[in-house]
Chains A and B, each alone.
Chain A
């Protein structure tokens, strides 16, 4: 049976969600999206710059992809709700990544405002994926409020530092029923693989791919790492031990008995 990700009432193949920020150009971004084979892609909303004619990003996102707008820039639940409604009016579906940040230095999410936004937007029929600090109580509340997933950070946004929140994310994986998707901070394919090996349902990556020397090659590498990590999780990792356990026979002909 094919291993699909059940998320927001949809079933998708790829467990690598991709962000579209910071790419050097939309054509490069498009090639990276194709190389990663992502099914779910995030975008942001911004004021139109009247002084320049800019390309429409939507034309560079492969058509079968599910588009998920984020609420970046929001500092309160009300602002996140406003952005979500604008995104829906943009005609690209009702998936929304809630991102409420009041701290400009670390860009850490405000879980309380995020929860308030989740409660409102779920009632309005949105598929809501909250970006959050990995706190079990809050994750449970997000789940109870109807979040389609919880998205704990691995490290601060754009920091490429890897899964610094591992122990807390492991608790979420054990205790939360909706998919746990590590979002933010993953810097290398091995970070993504680590998340998948420990049982995350998916990961969301942007900066590590967008600012790599070869974003298209890096997108493919992340895609492969996510597949490998997921396979390892499904196969069940062998247990670790403090002492050696020979993988080749030690006895046979040099001496009678292993010492």
Chain B
């Protein structure tokens, strides 16, 4: 299946939960915010969400800005 993660098409072998996806990407959960199909998902709810084909995931973090 194909996910759109941060605007890029990413092939994923099988359905995974959001927390597994974040872990697979080597991201630190405390530093990021995850949006799933335009819904912000609280960190504690990541295990409850299983991503499906064509889902849109945004993974956001704070950076420098004025």
Mark A residues whose CB is within 8 Å of B.
Answer: 19-23, 26, 29, 42-48, 50, 53, 56-58, 69-70, 72, 82, 85-87, 89-90, 92, 157-158, 184, 204, 206-207
Mark B residues whose CB is within 8 Å of A.
Answer: 5-7, 25-28, 31-33, 35, 38, 40, 42, 58-66
Closest to B41 in A: A89
CB contact under 8 A between A57 and B62, given known A48-B32, A89-B40, A90-B33: yes
User: Are A86 and B31 touching (Cβ within 8 A)?
Assistant: no
**Of the candidates A20, A47, A50, A90, which one forms a contact with B65 in the assembled complex, judged by CB atoms under 8 Å apart?**
A20
Q: Please name all residues of chain A whose beta carbon is closer than 8 Å to the beta carbon of B31 when the two chains form the complex.
A: 56, 58
Q: Please name all residues of chain B whose beta carbon is closer than 8 Å to the beta carbon of A86 when the two chains form the complex.
A: 33, 35, 40, 58, 60
User: Are A58 and B58 touching (Cβ within 8 A)?
Assistant: no
User: Are B61 and A48 touching (Cβ within 8 A)?
Assistant: yes
Q: Please name all residues of chain A whose beta carbon is closer than 8 Å to the beta carbon of B59 when the two chains form the complex.
A: 47-48, 50
Q: Please name all residues of chain B whose beta carbon is closer than 8 Å to the beta carbon of A207 when the two chains form the complex.
A: 66
User: Are A57 and B60 touching (Cβ within 8 A)?
Assistant: no
Closest to B34 in A: A89
| Shortest CB distance A50–B (Å) | 6
CB contact under 8 A between A92 and B62, given known A47-B6, A48-B32, A50-B25: yes
